[in-house]
Structure 1
Amino acid sequence: MPPLRTHHSLEKTMLLCLSVDHRTADLELLERIERRAETVTAALSDDTARGVVVLATCNRFEAYVDAPDHRPEPALEALARAAQLTPAELTGTFAVHHGDAAAEHLFAVSSGLESAAVGEGEIAGQVRRALETARAAGHTSTDLEQLFQHAMTVSKEVKNRTGLQTRGRSLVQLALTLVDARVADWTTARVVLIGTGAYAGASLAALRVRGADNIAVFSPSGRAEAFAASHDLRPLSDDDLVTELRAADVVVACSSTNEPVLTREHLRGTTRPRVLIDMGLPRNISPDVGEESGIELLDLETIALHAPIPELGAELEARDIVRTAAAEFAALRAERDVVPAVRDMRAFITEVLDDEIARLRGRNADNADEIEAALRHAFGRVMHRPTVRLRALARAGAATEASAAVTALFSPDPLHP
């Protein structure tokens, strides 16, 4: 396995993130992996993991893995086999995040800080749907559930405290901004929308903000009628599509298909100027469509090149929120590591306490209830300080040493019954 960019943490953990995005891989490689997303998920679930959540968006592919050991190699090898990637194709493209670093990375991703258009709003919904999809397929684990739930909370905090997602522009909005100069009047422009999913909804909203009203929708999966009815659009059948495309001024394609929806055959026969925006990954529009006369094709690579620089203050504040949240998440996980030791200590003291209470009641003491209440109150006070101290030691990175000391004192010892 070739060397990969690796981000470690000192905490003992099972979490790994295998990540490739628009900054390290071209669109063609991202497409190839995206087409095999289900195969990759199955391979990681079967071969290397207690749980897997795959986050696949228009400019990134990430697998969050609850692995049985701390080495990324088994997961990477399973991913490479399933995605049909060579070792050379992994070099310099996939990053591996371990433990605390995996959590911090996901928090940044879900907050829009790692997107091509920093601050994009769609990514939070994509993170939520990634968890829901994994949950429905039975691929999640307790650790992954906690990780993704935390990520969604952090995303909301970043949005509410910094306003970054209102300052930043989504890729849909950015693409339409690039097209504005080519559309004389959005209110009269003929638009074809391909797709009916979440990205189609965002695209439609951005089009209507510009005044676009003459919009027809086509769905490769046959959902155009229902989407059109709920959004006041014109649905297109397979027979209508070619005619509508040749009359369109703008086409926005954002369908989740594995093969191109539009080819050169759909658009031949006219030289009138048209702008085609391909938001799909894999591509919705065959790249050679751009060779047709009068057609300008904008794909994700072109759009990402024009991604804006966000307001610096908002981004810096957002990154501070992410770092703080990641540190707190790591501390909570560390605290969980000392739970068995606390349980051993509590069990030992409870056993002694119960024996003494039973002995007391065996004497038929008149005030047995009062004495028992006092003893149990004292038990709570005795347990409080060492429990708090153990959690503090865990947060300070000494969970292993503290647990070992408590376990040595209080766990059952078969050599000294």
Structure 2
Amino acid sequence: MSVLVVGLSHRSAPVPLLERTAATGDDLVKLLNDVAGSPYVAEVMIVSTCNRVEVYAAVEKFHGGVSAITEMLSRHSGVPLDELARHLYVHYEDRAVQHMFAVACGLDSMVVGESQILGQLRAAFKLAQQEEAVGRELHEVVQRSLRVGKRAHAETGIDRAGASLVSVGLEVATRHLGPLDGTRALVVGAGSMSALAVATLSRAGVREIVVANRTHDRAVRLAGQYERTRAIELSGLDAALADADLVISCTGAPGLVVHADRLAPADRPRFFLDLALPHDIDPRVRELPGAALAGLEELRTAEEAARAIGPEATEAVRRIVAEEVADFLNAARAAAVAPTVVALRSKAAQVVEAELNRLGGRLPELDDRARAEVAQTVRRVVDKLLHAPTVRVKELASAPGGDAYATALRELFDLDPQAPEAVARADIEGTDP
């Protein structure tokens, strides 16, 4: 079983195409289950965010897995296969592990070093667990990637520049509005990105923050954590928009939430920040006097935060990723040979027992003490003979191509081909992911 990644992101596709392929809510669950139902896919997890749609899968065969996943993405998004394929990237085995670790560290994010991706990976894995779409293979690589991401943020300055889409978006807003202290802000939505927006605005000292959300209780809980912040029903959105100097929206709604033709005229500068995919805010807002709008496409050019991080921190994270990938792959290769070693020792134990029984039949006069001494001696000899080759094969297996040594061991000792697979299967069934 090998890990496969098929996806597209802000690096490979324009935002309009990302909007068409992004899946949320029930659509995401259906896509997940349809991919999981493919005969070519054993496990699957889907990360669908504002700047990436990636399918992580455990597959037996590369080409079958790629074809099945690509066709599912095309069918669910309505994007023709030939158009979609031009923007897809594919990573397999070692490269797939490296990609997931880099994503978890924020190296592949629109704003390098942003930490929101860790929460998005956790959410994707939790959904896959709920749908019983993941098992041991993805469990191990996802959990390791989360640890790698935490390590990168703890040991380097990768997030020192306030690296999140919210932070960069507010830098752009400041150019249009001036200092944010004294402004009135409206945050539409109450999810993780909206919570980050409220926290960032609160630190910036805005005069008032209003939170609007379809589920009013969530808006109340979010607003209750900060001073100068209150919650409103979504039905009061038009009035709140009329009073706001700064509007940030990230709801995950399937259509527009803020409509240009419902905005009251204003004689002051207003800034709209759309962090949703698909878009929440009507693009025609740009045509209103004094209004400016920034969406994900505009934030692509906001490289100040990435540059502020400095190349030293980025290189330090790359070194961490390389180190962690090597360690993970070495451990995985060593673990892969373990069933063969167990099968070899099991066969040796069977041979020893058979020979001891035969000896007992030929020498019935042996007393229990002598019989026990002979049995212990034989077992000790076998253990010593097997010790060096089994230890060595584990060491050799940790290197690229090391699985060939396990194959050689099976051939040399004429092991039942099904024996190692049975050991591995029993190990997997006894593990709670």
Q: Same fold (TM over 0.5)?
A: yes
Alignment of 1:268 with 2:264, yes or no, is yes
Alpha-carbon distance, 1:262 to partner: 1.2
Whether the 8 Å contact between 1:217 and 1:234 is mirrored in structure 2 is yes
List per-residue Cα deviations over 1:233-273 (Å, max 9, x = no partner). Answer: 31111332111110111011122222222112431343432
Alignment of 1:44 with 2:35, yes or no, is yes
**One-letter amino acid of the structure 2 residue matched with residue 396 of structure 1:** A
The separation in 2 between residues aligned to 1:250 and 1:413, in whole angstroms, is 69
List per-residue Cα deviations over 1:344-389 (Å, max 9, x = no partner). Answer: 2111111133345666797333266666566655555444322221
Q: Aligned residue pairs: how many?
A: 402
**One-letter amino acid of the structure 1 residue matched with residue 274 of structure 2:** D
**One-letter amino acid of the structure 2 residue matched with residue 402 of structure 1:** Y
**One-letter amino acid of the structure 1 residue matched with residue 2 of structure 2:** M
List per-residue Cα deviations over 1:25-57 (Å, max 9, x = no partner). Answer: 111111111145334323211224111111112
The separation in 2 between residues aligned to 1:379 and 1:295, in whole angstroms, is 82
Q: Secondary structure at the match of 2:177?
A: coil
Counterpart pick for 1:366 among 350, 365, 369: 369
- Are the structure 2 counterparts of residues 382 and 26 from structure 1 closer, same or farther at C-alpha, using a change threshold of 3 Å? same
Alpha-carbon distance, 1:143 to partner: 0.9
**One-letter amino acid of the structure 1 residue matched with residue 201 of structure 2:** L
- Are the structure 2 counterparts of residues 282 and 384 from structure 1 closer, same or farther at C-alpha, using a change threshold of 3 Å? farther
**One-letter amino acid of the structure 1 residue matched with residue 302 of structure 2:** H
Whether the 8 Å contact between 1:345 and 1:411 is mirrored in structure 2 is no
- Are the structure 2 counterparts of residues 321 and 146 from structure 1 closer, same or farther at C-alpha, using a change threshold of 3 Å? same
Unaligned runs of 5+ in 1: 1-12
Alpha-carbon distance, 1:286 to partner: 2.0
Alignment of 1:281 with 2:277, yes or no, is yes
Aligned to 2:135: 141
The separation in 2 between residues aligned to 1:372 and 1:207, in whole angstroms, is 76
TM-score (norm 1): 0.89
The separation in 1 between residues aligned to 2:172 and 2:297, in whole angstroms, is 13
Q: Secondary structure at the match of 1:191?
A: strand
Q: Which has the larger displacement, 391-400 or 44-53?
A: 391-400
Unaligned runs of 5+ in 2: 418-433
The separation in 2 between residues aligned to 1:352 and 1:152, in whole angstroms, is 45
- Are the structure 2 counterparts of residues 184 and 401 from structure 1 closer, same or farther at C-alpha, using a change threshold of 3 Å? closer
Alpha-carbon distance, 1:175 to partner: 0.8
Aligned-pair RMSD on alpha carbons? 2.4
Q: Which has the larger displacement, 358-367 or 187-196?
A: 358-367
Alpha-carbon distance, 1:411 to partner: 4.2
Identical amino acids, percent of aligned pairs? 28
The separation in 1 between residues aligned to 2:380 and 2:173, in whole angstroms, is 71
Aligned to 1:395: 398
**One-letter amino acid of the structure 1 residue matched with residue 87 of structure 2:** T
Alpha-carbon distance, 1:58 to partner: 1.5
Alignment of 1:178 with 2:177, yes or no, is no
Q: Which has the larger displacement, 144-153 or 343-352?
A: 343-352
**One-letter amino acid of the structure 2 residue matched with residue 159 of structure 1:** H
Alignment of 1:241 with 2:237, yes or no, is yes
The separation in 2 between residues aligned to 1:368 and 1:163, in whole angstroms, is 67
The separation in 1 between residues aligned to 2:414 and 2:69, in whole angstroms, is 36
Aligned to 2:93: 99
Q: Which has the larger displacement, 72-81 or 102-111?
A: 72-81
The separation in 2 between residues aligned to 1:147 and 1:405, in whole angstroms, is 28
Q: Secondary structure at the match of 1:275?
A: strand
Alignment of 1:208 with 2:202, yes or no, is yes
Aligned to 1:352: 351
Aligned to 2:412: 409
Instruction: Within 5 Å, give how 1:118-137 maps onto structure 2.
Output: 118-137=112-131
Q: Secondary structure at the match of 2:279?
A: coil
Whether the 8 Å contact between 1:344 and 1:410 is mirrored in structure 2 is no
Q: Which has the larger displacement, 267-276 or 22-31?
A: 267-276
Q: Which has the larger displacement, 28-37 or 362-371?
A: 362-371
- Are the structure 2 counterparts of residues 263 and 381 from structure 1 closer, same or farther at C-alpha, using a change threshold of 3 Å? farther
Aligned to 1:9: none
TM-score (norm 2): 0.85
Counterpart pick for 1:27 among 15, 40, 54: 15
Q: Which has the larger displacement, 103-112 or 29-38?
A: 29-38
Q: Secondary structure at the match of 2:4?
A: strand
Instruction: Within 5 Å, give how 1:46-125 maps onto structure 2.
Output: 46-47=37-38, 48-71=40-63, 72-125=66-119
The separation in 2 between residues aligned to 1:56 and 1:378, in whole angstroms, is 57
Q: Which has the larger displacement, 101-110 or 66-75?
A: 66-75
List per-residue Cα deviations over 1:144-180 (Å, max 9, x = no partner). Answer: 1111111111112212222212246211111111112
Whether the 8 Å contact between 2:12 and 2:88 is mirrored in structure 1 is yes
Alpha-carbon distance, 1:413 to partner: 6.2
- Are the structure 2 counterparts of residues 257 and 352 from structure 1 closer, same or farther at C-alpha, using a change threshold of 3 Å? same
Aligned to 1:227: 222
Aligned to 1:335: 334
Q: Secondary structure at the match of 1:181?
A: helix
